[in-house]
Chains A and B, each alone.
Chain A
Amino acid sequence: DAKTTQPPSMDCAEGRAANLPCNHSTISGNEYVYWYRQIHSQGPQYIIHGLKNNETNEMASLIITEDRKSSTLILPHATLRDTAVYYCIVRVGDAGGTSYGKLTFGQGTILTVHP
C-alpha cells in the first residue's frame, strides 16, 4: 500500500470549511483513498473513500487531484464535534481474498475546531 503524509495538526473555526490534505505520491492505479476519523475515547469512524472521481456524502467531500498524488477531505461546515484525529489511508481495492480490511492507520491529523 502507498504511504501517506498528513500534517500533524490543523485548526478551524466553527462554521467554516475544514480542508484536510493528504499526500500519497506513490499511489498506484488500483489503490483507493480512504478517510477515517477518531474522536477522543471513541473507535475510529469511516468517513468516505474514492478512487479517481471526487466523492461526496452526508459527512464530507473528497477531492482527488487528477494525477491522484494527493487528496483533500473537506468538512463543509465544521462543528465542535468534528474535533478529532483524521486518518488518510491508501489501499489496494482489488487485492481480494483475505487482504481486504487490513488497514494501517498512521499518525493522522489532529483537527481542532474552535468556537
Chain B
Amino acid sequence: DVKVTQSSRYLVKRTGEKVFLECVQDMDHENMFWYRQDPGLGLRLIYFSYDVKMKEKGDIPEGYSVSREKKERFSLILESASTNQTSMYLCASGPSDTDTQYFGPGTRLTVL
C-alpha cells in the first residue's frame, strides 16, 4: 500500500511564526505536491516537485516556499504565517509518468 504521511493532523500557530509542514512518501515516487483546500474553493496547487532539489510553482505559491532535499520528503514552509493561510493542507505523491496521485491525511492549520 502506498503511504503518504504528514507530520501533524492539527496545528495551531500565531501570526508571524515560521511554519514547517512535512510530508513523507514510501513509494519512491518522483513527483510530490502540496495543495490547500478551502470551502467553496476546492483543492488548489501551491507547489510541486518532480525531482530532488527541483520545484515548480503551482497556482497559489505566494507566501509559501518548499524544500525537497531527499526523494521521499517534501516540506512546505510558511515563512511568516498569516491568518489567511488558515486551511487544510494536503500533500500528495505520484510516479513521473501518470496523473495518479496518492494523498496524505492532511494537516488542518489554524493561524491565530
Contacts and interface: CB of A to CB of B under 8 A. Distances in A.
Interface of A: 32, 34, 36, 41-46, 49, 89, 91, 93, 97-98, 100-103, 105-107
Contact of B106 (A34, A43, A101, A103): A43
B99 A45 contact: no
B99 A103 contact: yes
Contacts of B58: 102
Given A98-B48, A103-B99, 7 more contacts: A36-B101, A43-B106, A93-B98, A93-B99, A100-B50, A101-B94, A103-B45
A42 to B, nearest CB: 6
Interface residues of B, number: 25
Contacts, number: 61
Nearest to A91: B99
Contact of B100 (A49, A102, A105, A107): A49
B13 to A, nearest CB: 20
B48 A102 contact: yes
A105 B99 contact: no
A48 B33 CA distance: 19
Nearest to B93: A101
